[in-house]
């Protein structure tokens, strides 16, 4: 089944929510980057949360999340657009930490000290950038804290990933609930209690629940209506032309160094691990142009 994001709003118009199934998308990221279990869980949560945030945007707008803690994973980076695309990577994809109570310790992998940077591109000349200190490093909780503190939008977010022992992604997804001004925090707490009652999101998805099923569980006894759906997919904006631009930034000496050591060079995209190979002939012509200048 295609990954999907669904949107609903309470009939009273005071609360809205989005939910998504990202199982295939996260599985694609895991395979592309050959992620270990801790990295897969961390990136899976980040990409899922990123998609939920992008689901609140419009048209070609997009949002990027950068978790940078003092843990062994290093940076965990994700970017998603309102149209349903998402990409991401982990700086140290094979770093691992010990299990915590029998579960993957995402917070330990990211590290307890560090920052979450949120970069929002809504089509203006300058991108909006928000920054907070990591609170729990559990991904979802930090994003909910960011939304409440930096954007004054009380929110609850629940994201989950389930991995097989071999590392394959069995289920991934989550939901985000926000109140509209003036915020009704009591109502939000009621929805949070509903969330606690239904069990892990990843288990529900693995058992066949859809994003709308998740929202119906959270909004039980609360009148609401469905407002739209978006198909989700892994997509990167890298290209050979962009990688050529990267090589163009090298000095003549750097290019000569590459020519001495390699028969051509492969440039890899951080976000999708796609390799672009450039022959020694290309490097020679590039070096010649540099020396002319």
Confidence class for position 293, pLDDT limits 50, 70, 90? low
Mean pLDDT of the chain: 91
pLDDT of 142 strictly over 90: yes
Is 3.55.30.10 the CATH classification of the domain at 4-234?
yes
Q: Where are the domains of the chain?
A: 4-234, 240-292
Identical fold, 4-234 and 240-292: no
pTM higher than 0.95? no
What is the Cα–Cα distance from 229 to 97, expressed in whole angstroms?
37
Topology (CATH) of 240-292: CBS domain Like (3.90.1280)
Find out whether 10 and 16 touch, Cβ atoms under 8 Å: yes
**pLDDT of res. 109:** 97
**pLDDT of res. 183:** 67
What is the Cα–Cα distance from 89 to 79, expressed in whole angstroms?
9
**pLDDT of res. 147:** 93
Which has the closest alpha carbon to 155: 181, 133, 132?
A: 181
């Amino acid at each position: 089944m295609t990954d999907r994001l669904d949107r609903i709003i309470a009939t009273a118009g005071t609360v809205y929510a989005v939910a998504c199934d990202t199982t295939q998308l996260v599985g694609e990221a895991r395979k592309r980057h050959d992620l270990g279990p801790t990295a897969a869980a961390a990136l899976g949560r980040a990409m899922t949360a990123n998609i939920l945030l992008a689901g609140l945007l419009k048209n070609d707008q997009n949002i990027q999340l950068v978790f940078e803690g003092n843990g062994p994973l290093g940076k965990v980076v994700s970017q998603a657009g309102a149209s349903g695309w998402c990409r991401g990577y982990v700086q140290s994809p094979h770093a691992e930490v010990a299990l915590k109570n029998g579960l993957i310790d995402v917070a330990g992998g990211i590290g307890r000290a560090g920052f979450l940077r949120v970069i929002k591109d809504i089509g203006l000349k300058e991108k909006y950038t928000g920054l907070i200190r990591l609170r729990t490093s559990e991904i979802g909780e930090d994003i909910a804290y960011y939304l409440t503190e930096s954007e004054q939008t009380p929110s609850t977010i629940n994201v989950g990933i389930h991995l097989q022992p071999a590392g394959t992604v069995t289920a991934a997804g989550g939901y985000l609930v926000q109140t509209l001004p003036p915020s009704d925090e009591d109502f939000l707490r009621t929805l949070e209690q509903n969330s606690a009652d239904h069990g892990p999101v990843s288990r529900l998805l693995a058992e066949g629940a859809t994003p709308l099923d998740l929202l119906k569980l959270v909004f039980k006894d609360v009148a609401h209506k469905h407002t739209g759906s978006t198909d989700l997919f892994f997509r990167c904006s890298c290209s050979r032309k962009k990688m050529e631009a990267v090589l163009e930034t090298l000095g003549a000496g750097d290019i000569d160094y590459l020519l001495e050591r390699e028969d051509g060079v492969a440039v890899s995209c951080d976000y999708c691990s796609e390799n672009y190979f450039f022959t020694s002939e290309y490097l020679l012509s590039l070096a010649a142009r540099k020396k002319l200048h």
